[in-house]
Structure 1
Amino acid sequence: MSATRLLVLGVVRGYGRAHGYLIGNDLLAWGADQWANVKWGSIYHALKQLTKSGSLIEDFLATRTEYELTERGELEFQKLLRNAIRRPEHRPDMLGAGLALLPALTRQDAIMLLRERLAALEAQRDDAQVQLRKSQGPEHVWELYTLWGHSAESSVEWTQGLLTRLEEGRYAMAGEPDSPGKPGSWHDLKDA
């Protein structure tokens, strides 16, 4: 999966219609160049590929090209977003992209996906403990299993905290007042 694809789809969706410079400015303002390795070239490459695949349509204006999400693009966005939230990965870029776009999900969906993530993380943590106990290799290899277990345990704690915050009503989610999750709503947020 590509965090850049998810982020580009999410920004275009958020504005309803966006040009490459707006998309890049938003993503760089979020620090996506640091946590997802997003670069200007990768943004324009994603726009080209997403247009080619039918996820975006482009409108050539006098001074720039603007993009809009298609029905196929909405389906791709939802699939990528849901997988980013539900599937733990060792690299943080997909989760970061998913969190940046989390309000596009309903509260109920976000909670359900985070519970799936939590179960997977708990299984990873438990597996690391089993591997540590049965390891036959050199002692220093134990550090690898200790690291995996520690990382999984830390992720379990963080996920439980986010679940609690969402269950308590934190963050405006899709379908709720003032949510940035509605397609085309970001212009209103910037004007506020």
Structure 2
Amino acid sequence: MSATRLLVLGVVRGYGRAHGYLIGNDLMSWGAGEWANVKWGSIYHALKQLTKDGCLTDETVPPARTDYVLTAKGEQEFRRLLRDALRRPETRPDMLAAGLALLPSLTRADAVALLHERLAALESRRDTAREQAAGWGEPAHVRELFGLWEHTAGSGVAWTRGLLERLEAGAYPMAGDRGSPGGPGSWSILKLE
């Protein structure tokens, strides 16, 4: 999966219509260059590929700007990527970070259900790593690898439980809630225009 693809679709969806510089400026202001390895070139490549794939349409706006709009196929792809980013623990954190940046696009019930899937997967990984460490023989130092995996999965379990508690207690306006930034076209362009 590509965090850049998810983020670009999410920003275009959020604004309803967006040009490359607006998308890039938003993502860079969020620090996505650090946590998702998003670069200006990867943003423009994603826009071109998503347009080619039928997820976006493009329109030239005088004097020489290209605006992008999400298609029905793009909405489906966005939802698939967002759901997978939240439910599937990956080794690299970029997809989860992208999913969290776009979390209000989901209803509270959907987000909670997906995070429960994530929690179950992390608990399984933690327990498997613990069993592997306990049963490991030689070379003895390899046991540390299983310990690292157990610790990493255990930290993920604790964090996911905390987020679930906050969401279940009503934290953050989610799709369908008053004031949610999760609906298509719900973002305001406050600068750059």
Provide the TM-score with structure 2 as the length reference. Answer: 0.97
Unaligned stretches of 5+ residues in structure 2: none
Deviation digits for residues 8-30 of structure 1, max 9, x if unmatched?
00000000000000000000000
Unaligned stretches of 5+ residues in structure 1: none
Q: Which residue of 1 aligns with 2:177?
A: 176
Q: Which residue of 2 aligns with 1:2?
A: 2
Q: Which residue of 1 aligns with 2:148?
A: 147
Q: Which residue of 1 aligns with 2:23?
A: 23
How many angstroms does 1:136 deviate by? 2.2
Q: Which residue of 2 aligns with 1:38?
A: 38
How many angstroms does 1:138 deviate by? 1.1
Q: Which residue of 2 aligns with 1:83?
A: 84
After the TM superposition, which residues 101-112 of structure 1 pair with which residues of structure 2 at under 5 Å, given as runs? Answer: 101-112=102-113
1:115 and 1:18 map into 2 onto residues whose CA distance is 33
3-state SS, counterpart of residue 187 of structure 1 = coil
3-state SS, counterpart of residue 66 of structure 1 = strand
3-state SS, counterpart of residue 67 of structure 1 = strand
Q: Could you tell me which amino acid in structure 1 is paired with residue 165 of structure 2?
A: T
Q: Could you tell me which amino acid in structure 1 is paired with residue 87 of structure 2?
A: R
Runs (4+) off by over 6 Å: none
Identity %: 67
Q: Which residue of 1 aligns with 2:119?
A: 118
Deviation digits for residues 123-181 of structure 1, max 9, x if unmatched?
00000001101112311111100000000000000000000000000000000000000
1:44 and 1:135 map into 2 onto residues whose CA distance is 47
- Residue correspondences, number: 190
1:146 and 1:152 map into 2 onto residues whose CA distance is 10
How many angstroms does 1:31 deviate by? 0.3
